A = this chain, B = another copy of it.
Amino acid sequence: MATHKLLLLPGDGIGPEVMAEVKRLIDWLNAQGIAHFATEQGLVGGSAYDASKQSITDATMAQAMAADAVIFGAVGGPKWDSVPYDARPEAGLLRLRKDLALFANLRPAVCYPALADASSLKREVVEGLDIMIVRELTGGVYFGEPKTITDLGNGQKRAIDTQVYDTYEIERIARVAFDLARKRRNKLTSMEKRNVMKSGVLWNEVVTQVHAREYKDVQLEHQLADSGGMNLVKWPKQFDVIVTDNLFGDMLSDIAAMLTGSLGMLPSASLGEVDVKTKKRRALYEPVHGSAPDIAGTGAANPIAMIASFGMALRYSFDMGALADKLDAAIAAVLANGLRTADIKSEGTTSVSTTQMGEAILKEL
């Protein structure tokens, strides 16, 4: 059996607690002989800063480079609000994305029937929702230069951020999105602000070309990002796959996540290019939720998003789609049995801790 190398980066806040439940799952898979994972663990974010004054060290980056997949918890918290900008917790995550060249961020927004009532939206608007946001992750305003604050004198400063997109960056993320649409309901919606941004003009042009050249069988539609956001809130079921840039993707995927009513349930995958020789691709998997410092250490965290992120690793990095399906089914079954962590509890359900939820899913599996 092939050995798969995993780097676990629990991070801050509830990160270590939810990661412990993935660790439990990995140990069990190894013990059962279902798979063989070799795991290493490292520091990232505030906890890395406390140890090394950096949000991620070169040594940890080297481990990430050598791993078949990185499993990432969450970073940040008020404790690190005033550390130097380049050492802020988020910088560790951004460096991982950039240096591993993880340009494709897949964020499914799925509304579990058992949880539809937790949404602030009406049941009929979100029940059965299943959309996939494909966000460009290594370009745009996140990494473009110049990115500066200059002192102009007289008490005036000037801040500059730069949104940059090249044709090839848009092409490759469009292909990821079209490929996903083909395996789903065959519909792709591309979002940008071409009426205001030149990057939106190029984005629109390139996605249209890729479609015409390679994906005529997929239904393609363009929406302006602001009306796209409105349509997400109004009637999200009109979408199948959405492809958009780094900053719009940040906003739109969070809004899509909130529609489902259960941020604690949503995983994500960040993928690099497939290597022509090894057929492998670099990858990082992380829950959509943050480090929730307010509930860290209380056992209240929901480990499902983290476990489901590991499920995406099984699917996208290790070609274990059948096992991933079983894991998803185990999560659905535990929810159907009425087990709930604090964030998703409702009348008539059974409250459980992080650990109890992790154990229940494992037992179901």
Indicate whether A255 sits within 8 Å of B255 (C-beta atoms), given known contacts A160-B199, A164-B158, A202-B157. yes
When distances are taken between beta carbons in the complex, the residues of chain B under 8 Å from A141 are 141, 163, 196-197
- The complex places the Cα of A125 from the Cα of B196 at a distance, in Å, of 32
- In the docked arrangement, what's the CA distance between A196 and B251, Å? 13
Residues of B within 8 A of A30 (CB): none
What chain B residues lie within 8 Å of A76 (beta carbons)? 195
A89 to chain B, nearest CB (A): 8
A333 at the interface (CB under 8 A from B): no
Chain B residues contacting A94 (CB-CB under 8 Å) are 196
Complex CA distance for A168 and B161, rounded to whole angstroms: 17
A229 at the interface (CB under 8 A from B): yes
Q: How far is the CA of A225 from the CA of B249 in the complex (A)?
A: 12
Copies of this chain, whole number: 2
Contact A257 B234, CB 8 Å, known A149-B201, A166-B158, A198-B149: no
Q: What are the residues of chain B within 8 A of A290 when measuring CB–CB? A: 227
Complex CA gap A122/B116 in Å reads 12
Contact with B along A137-149 (1 / 0, CB 8 A): 0000110100111
Residues in B neighbouring A59, C-beta threshold 8 A: none
Which residue in B158, B167, B201 is a CB contact (below 8 Å) of A156? B167
A 110-165 contacts with B by CB, 8 A: 120-122, 125, 141-142, 144, 147-149, 152, 155-165
* A142, B155: Cα distance in complex, Å: 24
Known interface pairs A157-B166, A159-B164; A229-B201 also in contact (CB < 8 Å): no
A203: chain B residues within 8 A (beta carbon): 159
Residue of B nearest to A196 (CB): B142
CA A166 – CA B157 in complex, angstroms? 6
Q: Knowing A167-B157, A258-B234, say if A226 contacts B251 (CB, 8 Å).
A: yes
Q: How far is the CB of A90 from chain B (nearest CB, A)?
A: 4
What 1/0 flags go to A88-101 for Cβ under 8 Å of B? 10100010000000
The list of the 6 closest CB pairs from A to B, nearest first, reads A159-B202, A159-B199, A161-B163, A230-B258, A233-B258, A226-B254
Q: Identify the A interface with B (CB < 8 A).
A: 76, 85, 88, 90, 94, 120-122, 125, 141-142, 144, 147-149, 152, 155-168, 193, 195-199, 201-203, 225-227, 229-230, 233-235, 247-248, 250-251, 254-255, 257-259, 263, 290
